[in-house]
Structure 1
Amino acid sequence: MVQNPDKEKWNEFDWELELRKDDARVCAYAADLPKYIDLPDEDGVIMTRIQKHPELAPAGGDWSRLGPVPYDRSDEEDEDDEEDPARSEANWKKTPCGPIFRGAAQLARDWSILFSVVRDPEQAIPSMRILCLYGKMMARSGDIIDMDSEQEDPVRTRPLKIALCKRLLADINTIMGEMFKLHAHSPLLEQKCQDHEDALTQMRDILFDVLSALRADKAQ
């Protein structure tokens, strides 16, 4: 699929393709990290290796700008954001994806406490994978919250929001799959995994509602 270099004209499928490539870059980085973690500049070494794979290149081939959000923020704008009441904690919690960000953060905290004492590599590795997925959910829901809080043009941002919701749903399904394998390996984890799966199911329902609302707006 050849993407239009102008991100302003992207549809949800263009954005989802870019988000999938972002996922692939993260996976490639994680796969190489154990090999180069002891080097002085492991990040630079790994990124050089990743950049040799053209299928992982961001749209336009510009490796210096990997963020999915289709607008820039200068340092001055960041400083203004700190004083902007529209971005206060009380307000972002009221945005459609506020419960997703807050829920992922709470689940990540609970999960990290649970596995801070895990010594079994067969449990530690998949549980770290789950923790990373929670972090990714926070990042993606945070992108949507930022666009809502900054009152970006909804027509302009809708395709990206839809793509982010779809990837969030995929992340939830991946986490639930990892948890199923984890408590199958260790029955003692079954109740904790079930608690997380129940919370994720509620978050998935919220995302379905957000996605439906975005598509309804698109149809109007």
Structure 2
Amino acid sequence: MNHGKKKRSEFEWEKEIRKDEARINAYMKELRNFIDLPSEEEMIMKKMQKQPELIPQNAEWENSRFADMLEDIDDDVFFNDDWQKKDGADSYILLEKIAYQWCVIQAAEIKGELIAEGMKIICLFGKIMARTADILDIEIDEMPELKIALAKRVISDINSLIGILKDTAEKNTRLVRVVISHIEHLQGIREKLIDITEKVREKIKGEDKNGQR
């Protein structure tokens, strides 16, 4: 990665993450209108170009996390066995397990009007897992501000997921026990992310104090 780039604050990274999510949401909204059509990508991009704030400019792309990730694809966190030793890897593994459990529940237990809500839960699990993988991928010495911004975003998404799970359990009391278990696991993961955030902040403070940044 290019370490000569100007460092962004955690708040600047949060802004970039929000823009990233707005692009994804806009893309997914258009995808259902054009899916399986010839040149669907081209048609979607034409629609999105009507909202220029969603289209990254060349300069933005060159300085984005995505450009770096594509350049370093061979070094992806999951392409070797060392990722399980990273701080927070246990949280990712647990997320994977409880997300799988929910998929089984979705197929076997979720019916009628709760199907859409159950799918929303699956999508949130996927989003949280993807962002958690990004957190694992970023070394603490590399882009600590981005690591913090991502952790804060995941914590927010976990809070949203807990709320939807509670609502689902109220509508289907058969799910109460499994929802309570899932929420307890998610609360533990949230605490782990808070710990990671505090560790990174302390490291940044120490480097600032010693003039290393």
TM-score band (shorter)?
0.7 to 0.9
1:164-203 to 2 correspondences below 5 Å: 164-203=150-189
**1:209 correspondence with 2:195:** yes
Aligned: 1:71 with 2:63: no
Distance change in 2, residues 1:198/1:178 (3 Å): same
Match of residue 9 from structure 2: 11
Match of 1:123 in 2: 114
CA change 1:119–1:140 in 2 (3 A) is closer
Moved more, 64-73 or 158-167: 64-73
After TM superposition, the runs of 4+ consecutive aligned structure 1 residues lying more than 6 A away are 62-67
Shift of 1:181: 1.6
Task: Using structure 2 for the length normalisation, give the TM-score.
Answer: 0.81
- Report the 3-state secondary structure (helix = DSSP H, G, I; strand = E; otherwise coil) of the residue aligned with 1:31: helix
The reply on whether 1:101 has 2:99 as its aligned counterpart is: no
Give the TM-score, by structure 1 length: 0.78
Structure 1: give runs of 5+ residues left out of the alignment.
Answer: 1-5
Q: Distance in 2 between matches of 1:119 and 1:35?
A: 26
Superimposed CA distance per residue, residues 153-212 of structure 1 (whole angstroms, 9 cap, x where no aligned partner)? 71x410110101001101101111111221122111111211111100000010010000
1:45 Cα deviation after fit: 2.6
Q: How many residues align?
A: 203
Residue in structure 2 matched with residue 3 of structure 1 by the alignment: none
Conservation of the 8 A alpha-carbon contact between 1:15 and 1:160: yes
Q: Does 1:132 align with 2:123?
A: yes
| Counterpart position of 2:22 | 24
Superposed CA RMSD:
3.0
CA distance in 1, matches of 2:200, 2:127: 21
1:49 is aligned to: 47
Task: Show CA shifts across 1:47-92 (max 9, x none).
Answer: 332232133234x4668679635735548x61xx48x9x9633x31
Q: Secondary structure at the match of 2:143?
A: helix
1:109-141 CA deviation, whole Å, 9 max, x = no partner? 111111124563421212111111111122112
* Alignment partner, residue 110 of structure 1: 101
Choose from 157, 161, 164 the match for 2:147: 161
Distance verdict in 2 for CA 1:87–1:203, change over 3 Å: same
- 1:28 Cα offset (Å): 2.3
